[in-house]
Amino acid sequence: DIQMTQSPSSLSASVGDTVTITCRASQSISSNLNWYQQKPGKAPNLLMYGAFILQSGVPSRFSGSDYGTDFTLTINSLQPEDFATYYCQQSYSTPYNFGQGTKLEIK
Amino acid sequence: EVKLVESGGRLVQPGRSLRLSCVASGFTFENYAMHWVRQAPGKGLEWVSGVSWNSGNIAYVESVKGRFTISRDNAKNSLYLQMDSLRVDDTAVYYCAKPAQARPGSFDHWGQGTLVTVSS
């Protein structure tokens, strides 16, 4: 099974800041990497697939990068609605494991 | 509009069984694989199981193999998860998830979730 290691587990930032979340796959996943945002009590929402392709309707302040088995999610100019928990997930092979999550909190 | 509505979650004792259902609408259900993802209280997301459009390919996370059975009825636009020999650590919100077109493991639509609580 492919393990996904996400860091940090939590992050404090202010509105207007830029933050980066990292996800590492235990083996090559050929850019089959997704990012989700989840708010309390709600289902996850797909932000990005293919490591850096924005899902329709997702603001352009979200961006992704692919460094082989390391991936990043960057959020520029944080908005109040961005404070949530973010998960990476590999969709290369089953089980489609998720990272542990990063809780982004307001400083 | 794509809609996924789960049902069947409730409080159940360890060792008992439960069947979850997910009714889909707003897309051609028979064209898509479908999946179950769960989230234990206060914890992260865990992919549980997936079934191909024609039920020809099925996969499970190791922890539920031999206990859970995924199935679907394309005529009823429905996905199911039969959960047997339930354990306390199966307690979670169970989500039904639809993959994006041409992106098999990228879930672009989710249900609201149904809570399964396993406790004596």
Are A91 and B112 within 8 A, CB to CB? no
Check: CB of residue A15 under 8 Å from CB of residue A106.
yes
**Contacting residues for B62 by C-beta, under 8 A, at least 6 apart:** A1, A95
27-56 in chain B: CB under 8 A from chain A: 35, 37, 44-47, 50
Contacts of A49 in chain B (CB under 8 A): 100, 103, 106
Are B106 and A92 within 8 A, CB to CB? no
Helix (H) or strand (E) holding A62: strand A62-66
User: Which CA distances in Å does A64 have to A10, A49, A55, B77?
Assistant: 19, 9, 12, 34
Q: Compare all CA atoms of chain B with the CA of A48 and give the residue at the minimum distance.
A: B106
Quick: pLDDT tens for B28-41: 999 999 999 999 99
The answer to whether residue A13 scores a pLDDT higher than 90 is: yes
The answer to whether residue B104 scores a pLDDT higher than 90 is: no
Asked if the C-beta of A30 comes within 8 angstroms of chain B's C-beta atoms, the answer is no
Q: How many CB pairs under 8 A join A and B?
A: 64
**In whole numbers, what is the pLDDT of chain B averaged over residues?**
97
The answer to whether residue A40 scores a pLDDT higher than 90 is: yes
Contacts of B113 in chain A (CB under 8 A): 43
Q: What is the pLDDT of residue B81?
A: 98
The answer to whether residue B76 scores a pLDDT higher than 90 is: yes
Q: What is the pLDDT of residue A50?
A: 94
Which is higher by pLDDT, A76 or B103? A76
Confidence band for B26, pLDDT divided at 50, 70 and 90: very high
Asked if the C-beta of B2 comes within 8 angstroms of chain A's C-beta atoms, the answer is no
The answer to whether residue B102 scores a pLDDT higher than 90 is: no
Q: What is the pLDDT of residue B56?
A: 97
Confidence band for A94, pLDDT divided at 50, 70 and 90: very high
Confidence band for B66, pLDDT divided at 50, 70 and 90: very high
**Cα separation of the two ends of chain A:** 36
Q: Which residues make beta-bridge pairs with A75?
A: A19, A62
Q: What is the pLDDT of residue B98?
A: 98
| Nearest by CB: B61 against A46, A87, A95 | A95
**Contacting residues for A42 by C-beta, under 8 A, at least 6 apart:** none
**pLDDT > 90 in chain A, percent:** 99
Mean pLDDT of A45-55: 97
